[in-house]
């Protein structure tokens, strides 16, 4: 399970997020692997929209989750793809891209890759 307290302690040691950027924590429960990425919000939105366009219509959450797992297995070079796919997973559950980005901009986000599921959510404050 994702440990919000440990995540906040870890993130507290980092420089603040730049204005117009978002901080994303990627956590693999099985390997206790953590990656933190800071990225500008505009390119993230473009990447997310591209993933959503490429996916077509309907519920493709399982495909997004499979892709996240594949990229995670490849290593940190694929962190931007994991973040874009995580955004698409949020879109599948929230349904409104503006609402997704309002949430992303207001919190540090986390992608938790568990054996049975991938959870994308804000780090609890």
Count of the separate structural domains present in the chain: 1
Residue from 53, 85, 55, 90 nearest 71 by CA: 85
Question: Residue 66 belongs to what domain range?
Answer: 4-122
pLDDT of residue 28: 85
Q: For residue 58, what pLDDT band results from cuts at 50, 70 and 90?
A: low
Instruction: Name every residue whose Cβ is closer than 8 Å to that of residue 79 and which is 6 or more positions away in sequence.
Output: 26, 35, 37
pLDDT of residue 1: 65
Residues in the chain: 125
- pTM of the complete model: 0.89
Instruction: Name every residue whose Cβ is closer than 8 Å to that of residue 68 and which is 6 or more positions away in sequence.
Output: 82, 85, 86, 89, 111, 113, 118
């Amino acid at each position: 399970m994702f440990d919000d307290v440990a995540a906040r302690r870890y993130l507290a040691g980092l420089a603040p997020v730049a204005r117009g950027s978002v901080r994303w924590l990627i956590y693999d429960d099985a390997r206790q692997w953590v990656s933190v990425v800071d990225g500008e919000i505009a390119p993230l939105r473009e990447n997310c929209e591209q993933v959503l366009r490429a996916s077509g219509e309907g519920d493709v959450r399982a495909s997004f989750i499979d892709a996240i797992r594949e990229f995670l297995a490849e290593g940190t070079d694929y962190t931007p793809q994991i973040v874009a796919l995580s955004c698409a997973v949020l879109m599948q559950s929230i349904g409104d891209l503006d609402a997704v980005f309002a949430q992303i901009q207001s919190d540090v986000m986390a992608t938790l890759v568990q054996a049975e599921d991938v959870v994308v959510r804000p780090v609890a404050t």
